[in-house]
Amino acid sequence: MRITTLSFLAFCCLATPVQAQQVTPEIVTLDNGMEFLLIPRTDEPNTICAGWLAKVGSSNERPGITGISHFFEHMMFKGTNTIGTGDAKKDADFRAEQKRLRDAINKAVWTTQYQRYFRGEIDDPWNAANDTPELAELRAQLKRSMETQQGRANASAISTMKTDLSKMNRSTPEGAKEATALEAKISELEAQQRASASIVKDEFDQVYTKSGGSRMNAFTSYDLTFYFITVPSNKFELWCWMESDRLNDSVFREFYSERDVVHEERRLRTESTPTGIFQEQFEAMFWMSSPYSWPVIGWSSDLNSYTMDEAMRYWNIYYRPNNLVGVIVGDFDPKEVKPLIASYFARLQNSNTPVPPIVTLEHKQMAEQRMNAEAECQPQVEARYHTVPFRHADSYPLEMLAGILNGRTGRLYKTMVDGSKIASSASAQQDSRRMAGAFSFSAETKGDATPAQLEEAWYRELKRLQDEPVGDDELQKVKNNVAADSYRGLQSNFRLMIGLAYAEALGGWEEINEQPRKLQAVTPADIQRVARKYFDPNNRSVATYLRKASAGSSGAEDPDIAALPAPMQARARQMVAQIMKESDVASLRTAIEQMSSQADKMPPAMKPMMDLMMKKMQERIAQLEKQND
């Protein structure tokens, strides 16, 4: 549940402008080019929030390898030749065998199967049901190799034998003898499993957990990948060793089986949510030429097609020290940690291939675009406009424009939710990415209202912003909220660490200090100017979602969701849907633990959302445990 948890943390912690006060990290640059931002603080005694940033995300990919940055996020927890294996030589032999088999599978699919697909003979070249006999045999060999590597070679047989054993009658001498013989056979097969396995499952997690580490996680976005954990202050050297080891010696164990995990994640997060596949399509329509057009998790055919050779090329460009930044926030003495950083991370070697620039810019949109979809959801609408990237001068008045519109005292709530009562929720957002930006209005209908009514109400609000300067008092209220949010951001080492990494990846950590000042300097004239400049109908893309004729309720009547503030309800439905698809009890428990650890640091306004998520996770755990009884 790595991404799901991070989605919640990002929603709670990163949606507001970062830090208002001055943050002055000490910058350490190693000879290999890797930088570290050090911020010693004693607010949270005896703990350190530590992470490292790779300045790479889905925007650095290309068709054929979309999603590979996110895939590496999975791979980086699989260990090295030291962590995650009991026999490095045997493990390397397994990986070599699997590479040979997978390369042969890819070749067969890309040639024979793709041609059969192009001719209309099969409906999916990657579906194993359409395999030729030769391809089916290759898949079977690969499966056997992976099961043996993982110690699961006899799993099916053992499971069958245990079922048979549970049904045996031991009350007779013959039955007892047969049961004893079967138990011996099961023990023999289990011993063979242990002997053949070369993987020590989840050892990376276990080493940290046994040493008091917590909140180990990672996230990948369009422009960055960040890996982090909280460790006791006296375990900082362990962090240096563990992280430098996986940056220096990751072996991408389970490379071919992990793609199945990512496929399942994609299914749960995109294909199984009411609007997920349409949102993905809307993104691809909106971003005409830039690499933001493909999803962070990648296209399915690309997930199937990754090769180890391609992965290693990507790794050796983007995960080398000259493209990495460490972020250390917490209770430490810089004089003590700097030698440890140098000792462990200086061993990382730079690539011979420099990081290539991203040169394809978003092409100017010349006409309105529309997507009309039917889904099992409450009718809703999104209107999106191309704007500006991170640190662009106009990003600040656009952020403040969104602030004028949002919240229970904002214009959207007053006019659409509380006023005309045509919306159950309505919000606006400026999304400033590294190379481009977008401003979105989204709302969900209430009662018999239609998406067309929401859209027209939005255009009226927009015209008002274009025609009338925002009042000084109204703007000052938003500025006060910005200042309060910025102050709260400084109170948590975790939020500060995430904020620094995010700003550094998109354009420079200094923005954590500069953004609040620039937001406070925005004037009513600035807001009116950007409202007139960017919200042209020809610069607009609109997604309309109507309820399928056969669809039942979208879940809006769930009393727990209905009790939330209206602006939160749409997001809550999506997150609850993800939770109810989760089938891993351990992942759910980990997510609850992470949220609980952040409870006292969450803004009060976010507490109802967090309480709901934790309640739904507990309910899902109870469901899964009942199913397994």
In this predicted model, what pLDDT tens digit does every residue of 340-349 receive, in sequence order? 999 999 999 9
pLDDT > 60? residue 401: yes
Q: What is the torsion angle, in degrees rounded to the nearest 10, for the CA atoms of residue 263, residue 266, residue 267 and residue 268? A: 130
- Centre a 10 Å sphere on the Cβ of residue 179 and count the other Cβ atoms it contains: 17
Task: Tell whether 134 and 108 lie within a shared domain.
Answer: yes
Residue 43 backbone dihedrals phi, psi, to 5 degrees: -60, -35
Domain that holds residue 258: 31-79+205-345
Rounded CA-CA distance 43/355 in Å is 38
- Centre a 10 Å sphere on the Cβ of residue 236 and count the other Cβ atoms it contains: 20
Residue 627 CA neighbour count, 13 Å, CB half: 9
Domain membership flag for residue 576: no
Domain membership flag for residue 290: yes
Per-residue pLDDT, averaged over 168-192, amounts to: 80
Domain membership flag for residue 13: no
Q: How many domains does the chain contain in total? A: 3
Rounded CA-CA distance 48/215 in Å is 11
Q: What is the pLDDT of residues 480-494, one digit of tens each?
A: 988 888 777 778 899
Task: Tell whether 497 and 459 lie within a shared domain.
Answer: yes
Query: Looking at residue 349, what is its pLDDT?
Result: 94
Diameter over CA atoms, the chain: 94
Q: Which of 196, 226, 259 is the last residue of a domain?
A: 196
Task: Tell whether 173 and 215 lie within a shared domain.
Answer: no
Q: What is the pLDDT of residues 133-173, one digit of tens each?
A: 999 999 999 998 888 888 776 666 777 778 888 888 888 88
Task: Tell whether 415 and 492 lie within a shared domain.
Answer: yes
Domain membership flag for residue 612: no
- Contact (Cβ atoms closer than 8 angstroms) between residue 565 and residue 610: no
Domain membership flag for residue 564: yes
Rounded CA-CA distance 385/365 in Å is 9
Task: Tell whether 45 and 119 lie within a shared domain.
Answer: no
Which of the residue ranges 192-206, 445-459, 579-593 has the most confident prediction, judged by mean pLDDT?
445-459
Task: Tell whether 421 and 507 lie within a shared domain.
Answer: yes
Per-residue pLDDT band for 527 (boundaries 50, 70, 90) equals very high
Alpha helices (H) in 468-605, listed in sequence order: 472-489, 493-506, 511-520, 524-534, 559-562, 566-581, 585-597
Per-residue pLDDT, averaged over 521-532, amounts to: 98
**b/e map 472-487, b = 16+ CB within 10 Å:** eeebebbbebbbebbe
Task: Tell whether 126 and 69 lie within a shared domain.
Answer: no
Query: What share of the chain has pLDDT > 70, as a percent?
Result: 89
Task: Tell whether 64 and 131 lie within a shared domain.
Answer: no
Task: Tell whether 234 and 279 lie within a shared domain.
Answer: yes
Per-residue pLDDT, averaged over 562-572, amounts to: 69
Residue 55 backbone dihedrals phi, psi, to 5 degrees: -80, 70
Domain membership flag for residue 338: yes
- 3-state class of 263 per DSSP? helix
Rounded CA-CA distance 472/406 in Å is 17
Domain membership flag for residue 264: yes
Rounded CA-CA distance 528/460 in Å is 14
Q: Which of 498, 410, 424, 584 is nearest to 229 (CA)?
A: 498
Q: Which of 570, 598, 613 is the last residue of a domain?
A: 570
Lowest mean pLDDT among 16-25, 49-58, 378-387: 16-25
Q: Average per-residue pLDDT in the chain?
A: 88
- 3-state class of 117 per DSSP? helix
pLDDT > 50? residue 567: yes
CATH number at residue 396: 3.30.830.10
Q: Which of 196, 225, 253 is the last residue of a domain?
A: 196
Q: What is the torsion angle, in degrees rounded to the nearest 10, for the CA atoms of residue 98, residue 99, residue 100 and residue 104? A: 100
Report the phi/psi class of residue 226: left, alpha or beta, with left for phi > 0 and alpha for psi in -120 to 50. Answer: beta
Task: Tell whether 233 and 258 lie within a shared domain.
Answer: yes
CA distances from 517 to 50, 212, 330, 512 (A): 27, 38, 25, 10
Domain membership flag for residue 615: no
Per-residue pLDDT band for 369 (boundaries 50, 70, 90) equals very high
Task: Tell whether 66 and 41 lie within a shared domain.
Answer: yes
- Centre a 10 Å sphere on the Cβ of residue 609 and count the other Cβ atoms it contains: 20
Task: Tell whether 532 and 470 lie within a shared domain.
Answer: yes
Per-residue pLDDT band for 628 (boundaries 50, 70, 90) equals low
